[in-house]
Amino acid sequence: MNFFEDIPVGEKREIGRHTFTAAEIKSFAARFDPQEFHLDEAAAARSHFGALVASGWHTAVVFMRLIVQYHQQSAAEKMARGEKFARIGPSPGFKNLKWVKPVYAGDTVSYANEVIEKRASGSRPGWGIVIARNTGTNQKGELVYEFQSAAFIEMRGE
Amino acid sequence: MNFFEDIPVGEKREIGRHTFTAAEIKSFAARFDPQEFHLDEAAAARSHFGALVASGWHTAVVFMRLIVQYHQQSAAEKMARGEKFARIGPSPGFKNLKWVKPVYAGDTVSYANEVIEKRASGSRPGWGIVIARNTGTNQKGELVYEFQSAAFIEMRGE
């Protein structure tokens, strides 16, 4: 991660993409969201969705995996170049998560992260808070998922 | 689920409880949130958490499983008594998710759902929108997790 001072507001990063297979949709749903339109094609066809769809929480946690991997790779690359990199603190939570459109079996969702605001932390000296809008867009270019995150990012402090 | 008309604002329901074992915390994290304080006791001990903690998304999806099971059991009981029950529509999303305190390995989280507002849907005749505050509380009585949900609930319409 870049240090707080080096993160420009308005910066947008492509985080990664993921294709939601029917098998994976059902496996996640059986464990965490056992509603019939996430578990069974025939029942999903009769539902308001009309076909098998991923749990909204599945869409959410895949984003989490991809952004963690993105930051880990970024940190590894900085280490390999001998550069310092910022620590990321715990997230206090987030706002306004929206499941805008269904994610159907076979859909590929591309995730992005855009910095919309940053400020120094009042409670943690040496740290800033970065607010970002995170989005998921399907292969047709339709927004399917978004939420606003807040994260503590270490300051360079030089 | 009770029909929209039969849900009193202020009603609070105990949804269920879950104990987060170290094995389950690591298994979830390996798949969806591979940060070291969710994966490894020694690394977690050196982190700001001081011990192994569950991913915030893990805390969230366990709530989802418990509330789906709660509604399924409630519907099965109504069917067995020959009563009608309301359908639940898709969730458009939620607001203000907060990971208030860490959930450590071995912690037991009790989840609850409290209706804080309801109104007729403008876009879907025959359906209402129910806003609820959902919480997770650990075995010491400390709030660890909360978010505000919105769901479409069918009206009885009699």
Which 3 state secondary structure label does DSSP give A3?
coil
Q: With an 8 Å Cβ cutoff, are B48 and A90 in contact? A: yes
Is some CB atom of chain B closer than 8 A to the CB atom of A60? Answer: yes
Distance between CA B60 and CA B52 in Å, rounded? 17
Contact A133, A148 (CB under 8 A): yes
Distance between CA B37 and CA B25 in Å, rounded? 10
Distance between CA A27 and CA A10 in Å, rounded? 37
Is some CB atom of chain B closer than 8 A to the CB atom of A48? Answer: yes
Is some CB atom of chain A closer than 8 A to the CB atom of B94? Answer: yes
Q: With an 8 Å Cβ cutoff, are B93 and A98 in contact? A: yes
Contact A111, A144 (CB under 8 A): no
Q: What pTM does this model have?
A: 0.91
Average pLDDT over residues B75-102: 88
Q: With an 8 Å Cβ cutoff, are B32 and A89 in contact? A: no
Amino acid at site B66: L
Judging contacts by C-beta atoms under 8 Å, the chain B residues touching residue A96 are 93, 95
| Predicted confidence pLDDT, tens digits, chain A (158 residues) | 789 999 999 999 999 999 999 999 999 999 999 999 999 999 999 998 999 999 999 999 999 999 999 999 998 998 899 998 888 877 878 888 999 999 999 999 999 999 999 999 998 899 999 999 999 999 999 999 999 999 899 999 86
pLDDT of res. B144: 97
The pLDDT confidence band at residue B88, using thresholds 50, 70 and 90, is confident
pLDDT of res. B158: 65
Which CATH architecture fits A4-154? Roll (3.10)
